[in-house]
Amino acid sequence: MNIQITRLSNTLGAEITGVDLNTYDDATFEEINAAYLEHQVLCIRDQNLDPESLVTFSERFGVVEPHDNLKFTLAQQPKILVLSNDVDEDGNQIGVIDAGDAWHTDHSFKTHPANCTILYSLKNPSQGGVTDFTNMYAAYDALSDDMKARIANLRGRHSISKLKNKRVQISGAREDAVEFYKRQEKAIPDVDHPLVRTHPVTGRKSLYCSPRFTVGIVGLDEDEGDALLDELIAHSIKPEFRYSHHWRDSDVVMWDNRCVNHRATGGYEYPDIRHLYRTTVEGGPTG
Ligand code: SIN
């Protein structure tokens, strides 16, 4: 194989060509893994994967998590979640339409948030469907020394519930949203994570908070916590830290949730179809 790795922006992201994820060898995997750790977001072009091959590739990075949303897992491979605005012959939705429309890092509402997320694009709409990424190492590095000292030992509180979060709105596409989030609140208690997270492999520090899941700062009153969070969130999404991925069919895009925030930007409508498979790899403690 003639693997080629090319940067996609000045801050994060790289494109990989010349690899077939059905047949790569261990040395090629090591190159992919090194590129993943260096560039934080990888786009591996021109893949033709069946569900088993996608899961097998994902499992090279760790244990693939079961999905909470059983309604939209793939019937023949429940480790895959379907993201789609398509419908079946009876007009029923076949996938999650509005996953991840606010900036976030995956599963930070868990004690052990996700390590990486992998999306495989089967069909892209004629417009929209872009995924934005932001480099949380770079965001941390660019903070003033005073801010770094202020947040060094602070912890953010993370919640799955949109009902507890003034920075996000509940999607109109989810009819049962209030009941859904009430059930989720009971099932998944809020957790705390350091605002400054040290990556377990690279040893680099990153800012670890997001408007979607961080709802407060432990030990600060609501006003002070909100003001600090607003400042850190606004800083983290400055243009110089960002890369926007314009998908092609057959892209496999993976990102490192330990140092990257992302969001889906929408901008397409049925019958213009966006259809992807998603796997999520379990992570460890955040410190
Ligand atoms: C996600 O946040 O998992 C979805 C991202 C996307 O659909 O672009």
CA dist., res. 261 & res. 245, Å (int)? 13
pLDDT recorded at residue 174: 66
pLDDT recorded at residue 68: 74
Report the number of distinct structural domains present in the chain: 1
167: domain range?
A: 4-282
Answer yes or no: is 43 within a domain. yes
pLDDT recorded at residue 66: 87
Answer yes or no: is 287 within a domain. no
CA dist., res. 85 & res. 94, Å (int)? 7
pLDDT recorded at residue 99: 77
Is 65 in contact with 73 (CB distance < 8 Å)?
no
Asked if the model's pLDDT at residue 286 lies above 90, the reply is yes
CB-ligand 1 contact for 260 (6 Å cutoff)? no
Confidence of residue 180 (pLDDT cuts 50, 70, 90): confident
Segment 70-111, tens digit of pLDDT: 889 999 999 999 999 999 999 999 999 877 889 999 999 999
Q: Where are the beta strands (DSSP E) in 112-248?
A: 116-123, 131-135, 155-158, 191-194, 196-198, 205-207, 214-217, 242-245
Specify the pTM.
0.96
| 143-152, 153-162, 182-191, 272-281: range with lowest mean pLDDT | 182-191
Answer yes or no: is 44 within a domain. yes
Residue nearest to atom 2 of ligand 1 (CA): 100
Segment 207-229, tens digit of pLDDT: 999 999 999 999 999 999 999 99
CATH number reported for the structural domain that contains residue 243 in this entry: 3.60.130.10
CA of 100 to the centre of ligand 1 (A): 5
